[in-house]
């Protein structure tokens, strides 16, 4: 379930008379995004990922209207993977992308809001081998906020 930003307008409009609805909604959205960036209030375990032999980049698939802000943890076949930067990865595992260096993943790198890498490159295709938990945030085009995070307490809004 989710609450639209529009449904929050009656809580705010009395405090900003004459302000356009769209401006209020944009500011609610911006506040929600900032809250989610600064505090881990919107977390979710994403769908399991199937590893494919000799492929190191995988998509992050958060719910509609959200993007991945941080990856909190990743497991591969029940073993925790270590978060690592690209620079440190290159130092620890030179030429880690080469198929000849493929193996069981030990590290992960979040490269964008939509993708992450496993290193070393998986040497086997394994169904639902990777499980991860992510800190999410709403997109700049979202219209809703998940109810499990927002608690309305008239006349104030409390975020937990």
* 160: pLDDT strictly greater than 60: no
Kindly report the length of the chain.
160
pTM confidence score: 0.83
Q: What is the pLDDT of residues 125-144, one digit of tens each?
A: 999 999 999 999 999 999 98
Query: How far apart are alpha carbons 23 and 34 in whole angstroms?
Result: 16
What confidence category does residue 1 fall into, taking pLDDT thresholds of 50, 70 and 90? low
Q: What is the pLDDT of residues 4-27, one digit of tens each?
A: 899 989 999 999 999 999 999 999
Mean pLDDT of 111-129: 96
- Three-state secondary structure string covering the chain: CEEEHHHHHHHHHHHCCCCCHHHHHHHHHHHHHHHHHHCCCCEEECCCEEECCCCCEEECCCCCCEEEEEEEEEEECCEECEECCHHHHHHHCCCCCCHHHCECCCEEEECCCCEEEEECCECCCEEEEEEEEEEEEECCCCCEEECCCEEEECCEEEEC
* 150: pLDDT strictly greater than 60: no
What confidence category does residue 148 fall into, taking pLDDT thresholds of 50, 70 and 90? low
The pLDDT value given to residue 146: 76
Q: What is the pLDDT of residues 56-103, one digit of tens each?
A: 999 999 999 999 999 999 999 999 999 999 999 999 999 999 888 899
End-to-end CA distance of the chain: 16
Query: How far apart are alpha carbons 116 and 152 in whole angstroms?
Result: 35
Alpha carbon of residue 77 to chain centroid: 21
């Amino acid at each position: 379930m989710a609450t639209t930003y529009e449904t929050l307008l009656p809580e705010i409009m009395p405090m900003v008379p004459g302000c356009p609805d769209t401006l209020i909604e944009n500011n609610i959205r911006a506040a929600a995004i900032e809250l989610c960036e600064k505090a881990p209030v919107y977390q979710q375990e994403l769908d399991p990922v199937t590893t494919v032999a000799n492929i190191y980049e995988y998509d992050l698939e958060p719910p509609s209207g959200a993007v991945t802000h941080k990856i909190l943890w990743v497991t591969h076949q029940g073993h925790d993977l270590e978060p690592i930067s690209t620079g440190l990865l290159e130092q620890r595992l030179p030429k880690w992308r080469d198929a000849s260096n493929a193996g069981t993943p030990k590290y992960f790198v979040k490269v964008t809001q939509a993708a992450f890498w496993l290193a070393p490159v998986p040497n086997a295709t394994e169904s639902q081998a990777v499980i991860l938990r992510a800190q999410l945030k709403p997109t700049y085009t979202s219209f809703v906020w998940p109810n499990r995070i927002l608690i309305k307490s008239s006349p104030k809004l409390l975020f937990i």
